[in-house]
Structure 1
Amino acid sequence: MSGGRWLRGLRPRLILAFTALTLVTAAATATATYVHARNLILDKVQVTLGLQVRETLTQLAPMLDHPLDEQGMTEIMEALDPPSSTDAVAVFLGGKVVHNDERLATAIPAELRRAVAGDRRLAWQRYILDGTPYLAVGTVLTGGGGPEPEVYVVSSLREEQAELDSMARMVVLIVGGALLLAVLLAVLSAGQVLRPVRELGRAARRMAGGDLQVRLRPRGNDELAELAATFNTTAATLDRTLRSARRFAADVSHELRTPLATMMAVAEVLEEESARLDDDLAEASRTVGAETRNLARLVEDLMEISRFDAGAATLSLGELDLATAVEACLRTRGWTDAVRTDLSAGVVASVDPRRFEVIVANLVGNALRHGAPPVELALRREAEEAVIAVTDHGPGLPDGLGERIFERFVKGDAARTRDSGNDGGSGLGLALAWENAHLHGGTLIAGRARDGGAEFTLRLPLDGRHA
């Protein structure tokens, strides 16, 4: 099954929807928790370091000599170095600077220095230096005469970053675990929910294939159980209706045989006397005879179809040379000159001779009535199968008809209607051919011939395997 077709299934869509919902919920919750925890950790570091700087400078300011010189700047640096979390201290006064770490002091962000110098307040900024996160806190020491120094304390955030990385890994693990659990639960839930749907689908396919005895077992009291009960009711009603229709067709066909026998006798007398009648009466008597024979053939076909419907159709198998049987069928019906044959010799199969003749006669008769000459019949052996192809050179089958051509009373468009010079069929010939082919365990398919026209291909097992 292709990816696009798989995704159109209800089961994968339910799994994907459930998984996506869980993933979005878990990811959103975990991300919000991580961001909140990150902000708390970093805010705590910023506030703690800021308070340390402010308290130290507040205590130190009264003890400094003013105006401040380099010695005073050094005293400030030494007073702030080191709080427990301090990596560097830098004091800027005019063009002078004192520090305890040149690398960190010179890397203090210019943006932070502008904020401190402009707003003259405590400010901080996080930044990355050589792959390591740092927090810089800066302020201006006020309260003395003369120029006021800028004081900066830089603290590494390695430990906090390690803690945040560990938390991020935990978030990923939690989201991954939630996703795995969601997929597992989705698969199990979808299986439970869709089991009745799958059973309904299988039952519907069986019913479409003709098994009207199929039933579902309702489970629970939900909508799916109600649907299963409705399906059972529908199948039972359809079964009763179809049985009644089949019984009616069989009964009508049986009842028609007696009056038809009388009509056939009368029609034969009329045809025998037609030579002594005037033209109109002669034509009428011949028409009555032809249509009576068509009606009799229809009744016989209906009775045969009824036997298939009732499951009463059986095979009387015998070894048969198919080429000889085909020639005999064509000769009996006077079709020898109308059909070109290409019959491989020695193709012997275990078939029911009468039913095999019905298949061949109906296929050839259909080609003669609805196609155009020449009609061709080819017999060959392929592996363990006998293959018979009947081809005509008419307009072919209408587009979209496909296997429906074997349904009862289904006919093609007007291009394949019967010629006035040929006897009309019952409308059941191809259906009977299909039923007899499947009764033998074979297949019968319809298609277009290479040179136009219709082609019917019959495949029968040689060893007598049958349905």
Structure 2
Amino acid sequence: MRPAWLRVDGLRTRLVLVFIAIVVIIAGGTAGVVSLMARSWIYFNAQDVATAQFRDELQSVNGVPVDGLTPANLAQVFPSDMTLISDGEVVRRGSVDPATITSSFDDGLDSTELIRFERLDSERILVGMSVHVMDTTAVNGHDDQTLVKAVAIRPLVGVQDKFDDLLRVVGITLTAGVLVSGLLGLWIASTLVRPLRRLDEAASRAADGELSVRLPEDGVAELAQVTTTFNNMVARNEAVIRGLEESEEQSRRFVADVSHELRTPLAALVPVSEILREEIPNLPPDAGAAARIVSSEIAKLTRLVEDLIEMSRHDSQQAHLVLDDVDLVELTERTLESRGWTETVELLAHERISARVDSRRIDIVVANLVGNALRHGAPPVRVELSAEPGYAVITVVDHGPGISPEDRQAIFRRFYKVDTARGRSEGSGLGLSLAVENVHLHGGTIGVDQLDGRTVFTVRLPGR
């Protein structure tokens, strides 16, 4: 896996790349401009040296007497690389081919005060200048001054070497600048990323429920302000969550207290309801109807109180398993038989399925799932028992209208009603939530799916 600091989308890498890019752009542009200017200066300097040397050589010749303008005589006076022209005629050919001398360049050589030059390429320069020599063999009997044009090709000494040295220095400086800027960018990025990483770790810890996490409010002013805001946010969240936890705990205690307080009057009402139920045939019609309503409501209240007491045990973590080796097929048969569902619910099991479970709690799970299917589903209702590697599976199937996707997880919450317009139901509203608690207590899972027009509740319990 690529290290975090090498990730292109990371803040540290981006800052380092930005620093390097800035240095490359600014230093590279500056180096390019300096190189061009230095290159011109190097050429101008080499040209000045070449032309000055050429002028010095000719000034020492100016006015020198010669015994005739012959190549041999002129060779003793002028350097051998110079091409000499007098009165339009080539007196001596040196390093320059007279045919290559342009008329514009030649016309400028008529004055002895000026020196002309023309760059031929990056390493050579064409220079020319005129001087007077005294021809002692003049026919008029006295020395005669003759104008001689001297043209030569001179090298630009050291130009390429100096330019190579310049490029080498620029390259080394630019490389060093990139390295220094990269290190500087890495240091600055680290000072910015380190607090952000601490902030990310603290946010992860807070998201996991560690509400006491706080960060030191130091460092860069902007990051310190972000840290302060984060600490304030966590503190407010902690206060809100603590308040919610206290409120929930109070609600749980209230439900538990009310449930236990109701057990005493219910213990007295249950026998009364049984007596009323037995006397219904002997009562007048109106009194019998009232007795049936009272008996039914007492039964519903009894189930609600029992479910609330059981839920309070789970909330206070006082619900414990009494495990035993149980045949789930036999357990399910007893559950259906005890509630009078044998004729309305089909049981499918191909073999004996053993599991180590708490019989009472699994009885509650199966009864709640089957009762839910009978109340809200449609026949046929079927219970299927099977075994998978490492699991015992209990499946309750009905052919009702089904459950919408948004309700499939919500139905396991306490007192949740799919039909919000329904004020009352036959159940307590805690059946599925109690089933979930008991299944999770065994280390199993429970879920619901809609398959081919059927509603399928599936419970998986760890096998033996």
* Residues 1:243 and 2:249 aligned together: yes
Q: CA deviation at 1:37?
A: 3.3
Q: 1:219 to 1:56 in 2, by over 3 A?
A: closer
Partner residue in 2 for 1:216: 212
Gaps of 5+ in 1: 66-70, 80-89, 98-120, 126-133, 204-213
Equivalent in 303, 307, 310 of residue 301 of structure 1: 307
**Aligned equivalents of 1:199 and 1:319: distance in 2?**
42
Q: Are residues 1:37 and 2:38 paired?
A: no
Given that residues 321 and 347 in structure 1 are in contact (C-alpha distance below 8 angstroms), is that contact kept between their aligned partners in structure 2? yes
1:438 is aligned, of 437, 440, 452, to 440
Match of 1:455 in 2: 456
Contact 1:447 1:456 in 2 (8 A): yes
Q: What letter corresponds to residue 445 of structure 1 in structure 2? A: G
The residue matched to 2:405 in structure 1 has which SS? Answer: coil
Partner AA of 1:50 in structure 2: F
TM superposition shift of 1:434: 0.6
Give the CA deviation at 1:252.
1.2
Label 1:78 to 1:301 Cα distance change in 2 as closer, same or farther (>3 A): farther
1:321 is aligned with what amino acid? D
State the secondary structure of the residue aligned to 2:386: strand
Question: Is structure 2 residue 349 aligned with structure 1 residue 343?
Answer: yes
* Residue among 196, 204, 212 paired with 2:202: 196
Cα-to-partner distance string for 1:22-47 (whole Å, 9 max, x where unaligned): 32123203431233234324422311
Q: Which one-letter code corresponds to 1:234 in the other structure?
A: V
The alignment-based identity, stated in percent, is: 33
**Mapped partners of 2:260, 2:231: distance in 1:** 43
Deviation of residue 297 (structure 1)? 0.7
1:287, CA displacement in angstroms?
3.1
Q: What SS class does the counterpart of residue 395 from structure 2 fall into? A: strand
CA contact (8 A) 1:349 1:461 kept: yes
Alpha-carbon shift at residue 260 of structure 1 (Å): 3.1
Whole-angstrom distance in 2 between the partners of 1:306 and 1:123: 106
The offset of 1:367, in angstroms, is 1.0
Q: Deviations over 1:413-452 (max 9, x none)?
A: 479x79x9xx71110000001111111121212222x222
Aligned position for 2:235: 229
Structure 1 residues 281 and 339: CA distance shift in structure 2, 3 A: same
- Once structures 1 and 2 are overlaid, which stretch shifts more, 162-171 or 357-366? 162-171
Query: 1:284, CA displacement in angstroms?
Result: 4.3
Alignment of 1:34-433 (within 5 A): 34-54=28-48, 56-57=50-51, 60=54, 63=58, 95-96=100-101, 135=122, 155-156=159-160, 157-174=163-180, 177=183, 188-203=194-209, 215-221=211-217, 222-223=227-228, 224-275=230-281, 282-413=288-419, 424-433=426-435
Partner of 1:102: none
8 Å CA contact 2:413, 2:433 repeated in 1: yes
Amino acid in the other structure paired with 1:407 = R
The structure-2 alpha-carbon separation of the partners of 1:36 and 1:137, relative to structure 1 and needing over 3 Å to count, comes to: farther
Q: Name the CA shift for 1:77/1:199 in 2 (closer, same or farther; >3 Å).
A: farther
Cα 1:355–1:91, aligned 2, differ >3 Å: closer, same or farther?
farther
Give distance in 2, aligned partners of 1:386 and 1:123.
Answer: 102
Decide whether aligned partners of structure 1 residues 414 and 226 sit closer, same or farther in structure 2, where only a CA change above 3 A counts: closer
What is the identity, as a one-letter code, of the residue corresponding to 2:441? L
Aligned pair in 2 of structure 1 residues 60, 367: CA closer, same or farther (>3 Å)?
Answer: same
Q: 2:34 and 2:251 mapped to 1: Cα distance? A: 81
Count of paired positions: 397
How far apart are the structure 2 equivalents of 1:309 and 1:403?
20
Partner of residue 113, structure 1: none
Distance 1:52 1:317 in 2: 103
State the Cα distance separating 1:405 from its structure 2 match.
Answer: 1.9
Distance 1:78 1:286 in 2: 140
Work out whether residues 412 and 433 of structure 2, in 8 Å CA contact, stay in contact via their aligned partners in 1: yes
- In the alignment, the residues of structure 2 paired with residue 263 and residue 285 of structure 1 have an alpha-carbon distance, to the nearest angstrom, of 12
Give the corresponding residue for 2:142: none
CA distance in 2, matches of 1:351, 1:184: 56
Query: How well do the aligned residues superpose, as a CA RMSD in angstroms?
Result: 4.5
Task: Tell me: CA distance 1:233–1:414, structure 2 relative to 1, closer, same or farther (3 Å).
Answer: closer
The answer to whether the Cα contact below 8 Å between 2:15 and 2:185 also exists between their aligned partners in 1 is: no
Partner Cα separation in structure 2 for residue 148 and residue 198 of structure 1: 88
Which has the higher mean CA deviation after the structures are superposed, 56-65 or 351-360?
56-65
Higher Rg: 2
User: Which amino acid is the alignment partner of residue 53 of structure 1?
Assistant: Q
SS at match of 2:333: helix
Per the alignment, residue 67 of structure 2 pairs with: none
Residues 119, 125 of structure 2: 8 Å contact kept: yes
- Residue 278 (structure 1) shift: 6.1
Evaluate the alpha carbon distance shift between residue 301 and residue 50 of structure 1 in structure 2; reply closer, same or farther with a 3 A threshold.
same
Is this contact kept in 2: 1:49–1:137, CA < 8 A? Answer: no
CA distances 1:320-354 after superposition (whole Å, capped 9, x unpaired)? 11110000000111111211221243322221111
Q: For residue 400 of structure 1, give the secondary structure of its aligned residue in structure 2.
A: helix
TM-score (norm 2): 0.70
1:209 aligns to what? none
Q: 1:384 to 1:35 in 2, by over 3 A?
A: same
